[in-house]
Amino acid sequence: MPSSDLKHHWNKAYDRTETNKLGWFEETCEPSMELITKCNLKKNSTLLNVGAGATYLIDELIELGFDNLIANDISESALEKIKNRLKDKVENIKFVVDDLTNSTILKYYKQVDLWHDRAVLHFFNKKEDQDAYFDLLNKIVKSKGYAIIATFNLNGALKCSGLPVYRYDEKMIIERIGKRFELIESFNHTFYNPAGDTREYVYTLFRKK
Ligand SMILES: C[S@@+](CC[C@H](N)C(=O)[O-])C[C@H]1O[C@@H](n2cnc3c(N)ncnc32)[C@H](O)[C@@H]1O
């Protein structure tokens, strides 16, 4: 699907559905928070949430006192949901509408302390899109910085939001992220979506050398 069609697809998903009814909605982001806590980051660290959607992870990080957050998505409608919800608390958040597979903005960023992705990488089915994603990650995460990637695992669903997905296990992510990153931890996680169905994820935490 061309980038403009994808943007339309995701804008429509967020415009038509209340945040807490989205198939990927998490009321609390425990597996992500478990890994973020392990990074022991300073409160002024640069935390980049890619494909953030309308996630409550941003609310949880603000609550913990993190004051240098970047929320990225291809969909401006998604990021609007966060802005409308958090109102005056958004002053410490930079919102960046950018396509991770063809970045025009994030590619100029450097020295990010944490890259966090939940449920975004698996939408990139073409090798060139996966390469673009991992090139961007490699480029903007600083040395000794962290990357958290949570994606459907090999037992996961074949589609999400009506789109086909590419599933991973720990080994595949290690291969794709490359030798500059060292795996710190990984685990499988069963997510129960708002309809009560299960979605199987693999969560990985890496540190850049
Ligand atoms: C399943 S949702 C997950 C949202 C959020 N990470 C969460 O856990 O609630 C996937 C998100 O990836 C975003 N996305 C899809 N393709 C993208 C791309 N090429 N660049 C940036 N974001 C993208 C979508 O707009 C959507 O918000």
Please give the torsion angle defined by the CA atoms of residues 153, 6, 30 and 196, in that order, rounded to the nearest 10 degrees: -70
Kindly list the distances between the CA atom of residue 21 and the CA atoms of 42, 89, 126, 136, 194, in Å, as whole numbers in the listed order: 33, 24, 29, 31, 6
Q: What whole-number distance in Å separates Cα of residue 78 and Cα of residue 55?
A: 9
For atom 17 of ligand 1, which residue has the closest CA? 74
Maximal CA-CA distance, the chain: 42
Q: What whole-number distance in Å separates Cα of residue 29 and Cα of residue 150?
A: 12
Q: Looking at the domain 3-18+37-208, which fold is it?
A: Rossmann fold (3.40.50)
Q: Which atom of ligand 1 is nearest to the CA of 55?
A: 9
- Whole-number Å distance, alpha carbon 164 to ligand 1 midpoint, is 14
9, 57, 73: residue to mutate for ligand 1 pocket, most atoms within 8 A of CB: 73
Please report which helix (H) or strand (E) contains residue 97, including its range: strand 93-97
- Whole-number Å distance, alpha carbon 55 to ligand 1 midpoint, is 10
Sign of CA pseudo-dihedral 63, 99, 140, 116: positive
Could you report the per-residue pLDDT of 57-101, keeping only the tens digit for each? 999 999 999 999 999 999 999 999 999 999 989 998 999 999 999
78 lines ligand 1 (CB under 6 A): yes
Global pTM? 0.98
Q: Which atom of ligand 1 is nearest to the CA of 3?
A: 19
Residue 129 has pLDDT above 80, yes or no: yes
Q: Which atom of ligand 1 is nearest to the CA of 129?
A: 19
Residue pair 62/89 in contact by the 8 Å Cβ criterion: yes
Could you report the per-residue pLDDT of 103-114, keeping only the tens digit for each? 999 999 989 999
The amino acid sitting at 200 is E
Question: pLDDT at position 110, please?
Answer: 83
Question: pLDDT at position 1, please?
Answer: 74
Q: What whole-number distance in Å separates Cα of residue 170 and Cα of residue 157?
A: 17
Could you report the per-residue pLDDT of 4-15, keeping only the tens digit for each? 899 999 999 999
Could you report the per-residue pLDDT of 26-61, keeping only the tens digit for each? 999 999 999 999 999 999 999 999 999 999 999 999
Residue 135 structure tokens: 């090139």
Question: pLDDT at position 109, please?
Answer: 94
Q: What whole-number distance in Å separates Cα of residue 167 and Cα of residue 111?
A: 28
For residue 66, which of 44, 85, 49 has the smallest C-alpha distance? 44
